[in-house]
Chain A
Amino acid sequence: GAVVSQHPSWVICKSGTSVKIECRSLDFQATTMFWYRQFPKQSLMLMATSNEGSKATYEQGVEKDKFLINHASLTLSTLTVTSAHPEDSSFYICSARRTPDDLKFFGPGTRLTVL
Chain B
Amino acid sequence: GEDVEQSLFLSVREGDSSVINCTYTDSSSTYLYWYKQEPGAGLQLLTYIFSNMDMKQDQRLTVLLNKKDKHLSLRIADTQTGDSAIYFCAESGRNSGYSTLTFGKGTMLLVSP
Contacts and interface: CB of A to CB of B under 8 A. Distances in A.
Interface in A87-115: 93, 95, 97, 102-109, 111
B48 A103 contact: yes
Interface in A34-91: 34, 42-44, 46, 49
Contact size range, B? 20 to 34
B99 A49 contact: yes
A43 B35 CA distance: 12
A25 interface: no
B103 interface: yes
B105 A42 contact: yes
Interface stretch (B16-24, B36-44, B58-66): B36-44
Contacts of B92: 102, 104
B104 to A, nearest CB: 7
Interface string A9-49: 00000000000000000000000101000000011101001
Given A32-B99, A43-B105, A44-B103, A105 B40 contact: no
Nearest to A51: B99
A43 B104 contact: yes
Interface of B: 31, 33, 35, 40-45, 48, 88, 92, 98-101, 103-106
Interface of A: 1, 4, 6, 32, 34, 42-44, 46, 49, 93, 95, 97, 102-109, 111
